Amino acid sequence: MRQGLRGGATPLAVRMRPTSLDEVAGQRHLLGPGSPLVSLASDKSGEQGSVSVILWGPPGTGKTTLAQAIAHSSGRNFVELSAVNAGVADVRKVMEQALSNRDLYGTTTVLFLDEIHRFSKAQQDALLPGVENGWVILIAATTENPSFSIISPLLSRSLLLTLEQLSDDDLGIVIDRAVADPRGLKGAITLAPEARAALIRLSSGDARRALTALEAAALSATSTADDGKPVVTDDTVALAVDRALLRYDRQGDEHYDVISAFIKSVRGSDVDAALHYLARMIEAGEDPRFIARRIIISASEDIGMADPQALVIAVAAADAVQFIGMPEGRIPLAEAVVYLASAPKSNASYMALDAAIADVRAGNFGRVPKPLRDAHYPGAKRLGHGKGYKYSHDSDLGVVEQQYLPTELRNTAYYRPTEHGNERDVSARWEKLRRIIRGK
């Protein structure tokens, strides 16, 4: 094993954890001058008080990193617990020690509690005295929505900060630093540009995943290198992480080609093809919000009134992805895609609107018929506004013969429903309504 690739048994992601906020990549919206986290890190004397913080964000976005950087920067006593294996007794022990350190030595304790959402209500209750009385500064991390996973008294006593997935630029900084830094690979390998891009793409905004994959690829390159400095290529990355590398540039042709094929597969009712392209986008690290938006558009554009439930399901899938995040978000996305691809199709609704827009843009419009005009303002009735209006609910049928379109367009037909799915019933009903309304 070449020198520099191993730091004992300590993983690269741990060795490269920043020791100050200046080294943190990403989360700039939380680290501006005067922000709560920066103030917390710089307040070495504790004069600014103790503000507990809840950090909410996806895995690998720096929750533990921020907590440790704050503790190291401020010089406070730092205690780390994980809700996976800690209990009420562990919390109380920390509180007692923190109170003792404060009273005897004037030292403030930062308690970092990872995965706080795994704590029961009773376990979270045990944190309240220490947080409320300032015995500890609690920095809690969670990947689940705090509104549902953390008790209200603790939420009200803490500052909730939301972390975002790291951008490609942020991940690039993390990877480049790990290659060169004495704590990391110490420049012992050469990282090819295509390998760097592959690592970023495979990481999906997760710095820990990026560093773990980099370490595995570096070890793989070293074990197969004969002479000279090992070179990590995209093939090395694929071999190390045991995943085929998709050629997928989120800003390039492949991005547009795949999403185009995805939409056309849904429109063409090929469920298998639609799922294939969905899988390619997910595996390539495509923004799931982008995928969800395209699914919503497809539900309206390609299915429409043939199955109005399609739009409901598409919006629900988008909400679910936003709520639970990835990778679990792939499940509601898949459900929506299967529903949309197998649903009956009709573009009649939006084609009707486009036809109406074309008329308006071409100047084919007239005055609103007088019976439909607003008759509520003074003088409107003298102008004949509202005169002759027939109230639909007064009819046993719920519909009356009446001119709604401007006179210039009175015989225009924009909406032409198909015979597909639910729109077959709509077609029959609309034809009947049209005859009554237009007196034909």
166-215 pLDDT, tens digit per residue, is 888 999 999 999 999 999 999 989 999 999 988 988 887 888 889 998 99
What does the pLDDT look like over 52-97, one tens digit per residue? 899 998 888 888 888 888 877 766 788 888 888 888 888 889 888 8
The pLDDT score that the predictor gives to residue 354 is: 92
Domain boundaries, the chain: 27-162, 168-241, 253-342, 364-438
Reply yes or no on whether the pLDDT at 277 is more than 80. Answer: yes
Residue 50 CA to residue 134 CA, distance in Å, equals 6
Q: Tell me what pLDDT residue 74 has.
A: 65
Closest alpha carbon to 201 in 148, 249, 137, 252? 249
Q: How confident is the model at residue 1 (pLDDT cuts 50, 70, 90)?
A: very low
- CA nearest to 412, candidates 387, 437, 393: 437
Q: How far is the C-alpha of 219 from the C-alpha of 4, rounded, in Å? A: 10
CATH number of 253-342: 1.20.272.10
Cβ atoms of 295 and 314 closer than 8 Å:
yes
Q: How do residues 337-372 score in pLDDT, each as one tens digit?
A: 999 999 999 999 999 999 999 989 988 888 888 888
Query: Residue 247: is its pLDDT beyond 60?
Result: no
Q: Does the pLDDT value for residue 267 go beyond 80?
A: yes
Q: Nearest Cα to 131, choosing from 162, 154, 113, 150?
A: 154
**Token digits of residue 66:** 């921020």
pLDDT in tens, 5-15: 655 568 998 89
Residue 252 clears pLDDT 60, i.e. is over it = no
CATH 1.10.3710.10 assigned to domain 364-438? The reply is yes
Query: What is the structure's pLDDT at 43?
Result: 65
Burial 418-433 (b: 16+ CB within 10 A, else e): bebbbbeebbeebeee
Query: What is the structure's pLDDT at 8?
Result: 55
Tell me, yes or no, if the pTM score tops 0.85.
no
Looking at CATH, the fold of the domain delimited by 168-241 is given as Helicase, Ruva Protein; domain 3 (1.10.8)
Q: Considering the domain 27-162 in this protein, what is its CATH number?
A: 3.40.50.300
Answer yes or no: is pLDDT of 285 > 80: no
What percent of the chain has pLDDT above 70?
93
Mean pLDDT of the residues in the chain:
86
Average pLDDT of span 254-281: 90
Decide which of 43 and 352 is more confident.
352
